[in-house]
Structure 1
Amino acid sequence: MVLAVVALLLATFDLGGSGLRSAHGGVRGMLGALYRGTDAVVGPVRSFVAGIPTAGTNSATIARLRSQVEHLQHDLAGRQADATAQARLRTLQLAADSGGYRIVPARVIAFGPGQGFEWTVTLDAGTQSGIRDGQTVTDGAALVGRVLHVDGATCTVLLAADPGSGVGARDVRTGDIGTVTGAGTDGFTYVPLDPKAAVRAGDAVTTGPAGATTFVPGLTIGTVSAVRTGADGIISATVTPAAAPTRLDLVGVILAGGYDQPRAALSPTPLAGSR
């Protein structure tokens, strides 16, 4: 009804000459501005109402995409874990080849105090795999610890970093032997048998020599990070572990081989021209 009245008025203005035509233009401009202002307010509401029928579909799409992203993230994490495990297995295989060892790969399934010690881990391999008490555990290059207790399917390993653990050791640069004791999260403390030994920061420390340690010799223990001399003149050094005890996953238990195998005797090299 309102629009019909407005149309009649505009027609009257058109018949009334130039004066009324100018009024007609003014009214038309006013209505145009009114329409534009109203559309600015009503337009977003109109778009929202038009989108209501597809809101359920959009929610379902978002839920499906979120599920796909979570699945891909889980798959990626699994692939990364597999790649890490494969790299560790290659390292263990290299250790077996270079040292002449038989090594059983095992995964850490528990961490915590055990058997009266503070720093132990449980592995998912036991006597069924040939593991026995006292065997050395490595990550393929570095010392991890030794088997403390074993049953059919699992074993408990005393970590070398345990404060109650001691290891016969050698400074690779100088050849000096000494003892390494665990210091928990601080790594190890190395004390050379020779009080005048020239221990330096950066020196590599390994297990050994054979017969002076209960561990397989030649495994990296860590790197000297600080050296100090006590009031009694005894030299000691802080050693940063090569195998971080809190980040262990796939390790290897050394069953046999290396230093405990028979060695061939060396014979004199024949002189040139001799028969």
Structure 2
Amino acid sequence: MTNVLTYYISSIATLFTGVKNPLALIRLATRNPSDQPLLLKLKEGTSFSVVTLMDAWILKETVLDRQYEQASVPLQPDWVVVDIGAALGDYSVWAARQLKQGRVIAIEPFPQSIQLIRANLAVNQIKNVTVLEAAVSSRAGQTVLQLVTGQAVQHSTAAGNGSSSVTVSTVTLSSILKQIPEGRIDYLKIDCEGAEYDILFDTPSDALQKIERICMEVHDGMTLHDHHEMIRFLQSQGYSTRLTPNPVHAELAYLYAERNRTS
């Protein structure tokens, strides 16, 4: 309990000291989520339109704490990065700023999130991000997106207990690879609330061969699968793996996988 409390106190301090307009955080905590987005300005140089306090917390984890980088490796300037579950564009904006010659493909199915992504790309003058409005799935077509809270970061094609739902288009990871001129993904980021199992387990091995690195948030308890099964699967596909547990939520962790290449 002490470690959890310490984490949250430290995180709140990071958030308040990391923004130029901390009063906006107070407004987020007291406003109606249906109100117009607020612009949160970070001291590290980016700004984001956000709707809820959860959006601000995600910015803290992705941009201020750099949790994906901490759990994996620094991005290289010429990489092709794919962001599955782009939410409000937090990771895509952060990654795009690291890529001088590379680019990002941001994939997100939720219409309201797409609006935030485009707004956040514009306000940060990001030009090397392509936005794809779809959910990544085991098959192309359509699926039902469960809206757990209606927030940009709280929806899933895996969970079946949403307060409401919306039908969205789906694409496969294999089809995304075919649209990439370079024919490869240097870094695949996934945060899709449990759908990571469906996406990766049903991706053919020849497609996975073209993905060098994967960093994902794994979710236990949302499906019949868990992170142990994901680790075994990735290792069977020729990846080395590293797990970084979530400091407060036992059912969450960051899983990094890097392809073993013979010299």
What's the TM-score, normalizing by structure 2? 0.26
Higher helix share: 1
| Greater per-residue strand proportion | 1
When normalised by structure 1's length, the TM-score is 0.25
Q: Whose Rg is larger?
A: 1
